[in-house]
């Protein structure tokens, strides 16, 4: 197979020395740690609980991350670059298959049961392609100078970071699709989905029912009427119309019968408003009653009028819809049967496709789609990003300001998430997890951060060397691929484990070990391998 021919004949610059590279990677990782540490501290102090973390994470996904995606992609993409991105799904499939095979073999080596094996598979297959890799790519694009692409004249650090975010976002969306389908419903399913745990769940249900059985002795009623049980229902309502200062209590008496008594309607109304004298006699405040009741009557009339207008508008729209439906149905019935069958099939297919797309799409994907549209139309791209233009100085700058919040907020939530998962849980202790928790931790780390990297590194090197695909010449793409092969397990797995009650304690230990203990040596090793592959692939 022939070697790829590079447009630039000059050799790529050699990567920094090992000591300098260690310093650069340490700077990038330390930047991530410094931004994440305040979130960890605030969460440990009790001011950043799980609900607030979830709210900020959802706010970031709904608002700030789409702004970041739009500003980074729409300003850097063009029609030529879009055609080169088809290699990313292929690499994702290969990485997923390698991680899946590795995790199955590791689980068999540790002799785990089906539930534990699925847990290890989830930890190995679903890596983090969002928070940590994005921060590392942005940091590395500013610190390591050998990542510029010789195919792009005048390539700079900002464009390197923008392309890295683009690659990561495509990997991220592919991972999200598999994570919340196969991962949520199969790999991290609740315990009751496994046949081997049915007897245990049944016993737990019997014990829980026995503990929740009501006591045979009912509590003694000390004061009659406090618990809602009285001998005479009429007497229980006597206090509702009670008039103080010597008035006789009136029970179950209609307003018609009060006309001939000493207590009339005005007295009762004045008493409810507080219009009685200190001595006990009710004050005569008929004029005050009229004044107070006038605003209420006016508001009620306005509400009735508004409600009537709204009802008439809704009725008119409903009538128009019904008439249109009748006309369309008549026209449809006049068509031949083959045409009707074809139209029904087309309608059903379109509705299902629209429903699938609507469920699959999310704000980052919508932002990516809009960015692709803007980047594909040169005039539209110039409108949004030309220096000095009205749209650039107003709309684009506002979106860019919101996008600048995305990465710091991701890291703050990451630190808080680690604090929440390392804290003690109030959930009952799982005896099975106590026995195999350490083995699950070791197997998960091997399946995610060690073995897939050793297998994918030669595959990526050969691909970058021999496949004639232009995107494989981009140094930041090679760095992204290597970072994803050994990235820690995805943070969303902790959320799924909490929802389905799947090895929560072990999940917290895995996140702590991955993001705190092993992140620096792992990142250093991955970046060194990526730079070696880049240098080897550029040699003719």
Does residue 261 lie in a domain region? no
Is residue 415 within 8 Å of residue 36, measured between CB atoms?
yes
The single residue listed with the structure tokens 């990485």 is: 95
Q: Quick one: pLDDT at residue 262?
A: 45
Distance CA 271, CA 284 (A): 11
Question: Can you give the pLDDT at residue 259?
Answer: 44
**Does 209 reside within a domain?**
no
Cα 502 from Cα 365, distance rounded (Å)? 29
Q: What is the pLDDT of residues 216-239, one digit of tens each?
A: 444 444 444 434 444 444 444 444
Q: Domain tally for the chain? A: 1
Residue 457 pLDDT exceeds 50: yes
Distances (CA, A) of 426 to 68, 204, 396, 417, 498: 38, 17, 47, 16, 12
* Helices H / strands E in the chain, number of each: 24, 0
Structural domain contains residue 203: no
User: pLDDT for 380-432, tens place per residue?
Assistant: 888 999 888 899 999 999 999 998 888 788 788 878 877 765 444 455 556 88
pLDDT: which is higher, 293 or 475: 475
**Secondary structure of 111-133 as H, E, C letters:** CCCHHHHHHHHHHHHCECCCHHH
148 in any annotated domain: yes
Q: Where in the sequence is the domain holding 471, given as residue range(s)?
A: 18-193+362-537
What is the C-alpha separation between 540 and 532, in angstroms, rounded? Answer: 15
Per-residue pLDDT averaged across 159-178, rounded? 85
List the alpha helices (DSSP H) in 212-336.
Answer: 233-236, 265-273, 286-333
318 inside domain: no
Q: In this structure, what CATH number is given to the domain that contains residue 423?
A: 1.20.1530
At which residue do the structure tokens 């004298």 appear? 277
Q: Is residue 339 part of a domain?
A: no
Is 139 a member of any domain?
yes
pLDDT in tens, 464-477: 999 888 888 899 99
Per-residue pLDDT band at 57 (split at 50, 70, 90): confident
Identify the residue whose tokens are 């999200």. Answer: 176
- Residue 102: inside a domain, yes or no? yes
């Amino acid at each position: 197979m022939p070697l790829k021919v590079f447009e630039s004949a000059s050799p790529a610059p050699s990567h920094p020395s090992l000591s300098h590279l260690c310093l650069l990677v340490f700077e990038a990782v330390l930047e991530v740690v410094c931004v994440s540490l305040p979130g960890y501290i605030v969460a440990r102090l009790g001011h950043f609980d799980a609900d607030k973390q979830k709210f900020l994470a959802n706010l970031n996904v709904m608002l700030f991350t789409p702004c970041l995606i739009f500003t980074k992609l729409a300003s850097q993409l063009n029609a030529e670059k879009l055609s080169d991105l088809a290699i990313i799904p292929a690499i994702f499939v290969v990485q997923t298959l390698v991680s899946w095979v590795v995790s199955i073999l590791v689980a068999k080596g540790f002799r785990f049961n089906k539930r534990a094996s699925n847990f290890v598979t989830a930890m190995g297959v679903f890596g983090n392609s969002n928070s940590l890799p994005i921060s590392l790519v942005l940091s590395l694009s500013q610190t390591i100078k050998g990542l510029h692409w010789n195919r792009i004249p005048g390539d700079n650090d900002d464009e390197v970071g923008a392309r890295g975010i683009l690659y990561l976002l495509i990997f991220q969306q592919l991972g999200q699709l598999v994570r919340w389908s196969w991962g949520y419903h199969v790999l991290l399913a609740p315990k009751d989905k496994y046949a081997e745990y049915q007897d245990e769940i049944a016993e737990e249900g019997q014990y829980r029912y026995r503990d929740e059985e009501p006591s045979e002795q009912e509590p003694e009623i000390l004061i009659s009427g406090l618990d809602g049980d009285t001998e005479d229902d009429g007497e229980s309502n006597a206090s509702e119309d009670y008039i103080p200062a010597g008035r006789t209590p009136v029970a179950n008496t209609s307003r018609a019968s009060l006309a001939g008594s000493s207590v009339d309607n005005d007295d009762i109304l004045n008493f409810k408003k507080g219009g009685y004298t200190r001595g006990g006699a009710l004050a005569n405040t008929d004029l005050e009653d009229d004044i107070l009741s006038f605003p209420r009557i006016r508001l009620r009339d306005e509400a009735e009028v508004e409600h009537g207008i709204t009802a008439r508008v809704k009725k008119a729209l409903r009538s128009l819809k019904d008439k249109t439906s009748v006309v369309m149905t008549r026209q449809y019935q006049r068509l031949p049967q083959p045409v009707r069958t074809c139209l029904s099939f087309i309608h059903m297919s379109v509705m299902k496709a629209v429903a699938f797309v609507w469920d699959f799409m999310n704000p980052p994907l919508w932002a990516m789609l809009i960015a692709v549209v803007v980047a594909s139309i040169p005039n539209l791209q110039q409108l949004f990003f030309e220096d000095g233009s009205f749209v650039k100085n107003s709309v684009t700058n506002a979106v860019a300001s919101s996008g600048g919040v995305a990465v710091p907020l991701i890291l703050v939530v990451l630190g808080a998430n680690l604090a929440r998962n390392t804290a003690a849980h109030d959930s009952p202790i799982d005896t099975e997890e106590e026995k195999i928790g350490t083995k699950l931790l070791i197997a998960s780390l091997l399946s995610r951060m060690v073995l897939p990297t050793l297998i994918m590194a030669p595959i990526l090197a050969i691909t970058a060397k021999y496949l004639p695909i232009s995107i494989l010449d981009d140094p930041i793409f090679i760095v992204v691929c290597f970072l994803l092969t050994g990235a820690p397990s995805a943070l969303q797995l902790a959320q799924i484990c909490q929802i389905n009650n799947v090895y929560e304690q072990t999940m917290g230990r895995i996140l702590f070990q991955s993001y705190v203990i092993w992140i620096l040596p792992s990142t250093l090793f991955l970046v060194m391998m990526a730079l070696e592959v880049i240098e080897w692939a550029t040699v003719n």
